[in-house]
Amino acid sequence: MRIHLSSVFVDDQDEALRFYTEVLGFVKKHEVPLGADRWLTVVSPEDRDGTELFLEPSGHPAVKPFREALVADGIPYTQFAVDDVQAEFERLRALGVRFTQEPVEMGPVTTAVFDDTCGNLIQIIHQK
């Protein structure tokens, strides 16, 4: 068994696709119309057959209070692995990404947290 799909809730799929591809560097994998929304996934360019990230519409009434509570408490919704947190922090900050936590070493890991502009806090991590 392996993880095939994960998701982040997004308010606007077009804006999310732009951010996740043009800023973060993921590539679009699937885009299937589903009424007003789409089945829209992205993957790492380094693993195009790997785990997909579904840019899931946030229309369900439970999503807004859930995300607001996470953001208010500074809790990331999900985590992405990177080779160098400091380098990725500098690259993303230069692109205008707002970080809520700059790189911090915590024993065997280094992490940083950013706002994905879609309603989520996302953590980047490197494990030594």
Q: Hey, is 77 helix, strand or coil?
A: coil
Which segments within 11-107 are labelled E, that is strand? 27-34, 37-43, 52-57, 78-81, 99-106
Q: Per-residue confidence of the chain (128 residues) as pLDDT tens digits?
A: 999 999 999 999 999 999 999 999 999 999 999 999 999 999 999 999 999 999 999 999 999 999 999 999 999 999 999 999 999 999 999 999 999 999 999 999 999 999 999 999 999 999 98
**Residue 72 to residue 5: CA distance in whole angstroms:** 26
For each of the domains in the chain, give its residue range(s) and CATH number, in order of start. 5-127 (3.10.180.10)
CA neighbor of 124 nearest in space, from 96, 101, 95, 94? 101
Question: pTM higher than 0.85 for the full model?
Answer: yes
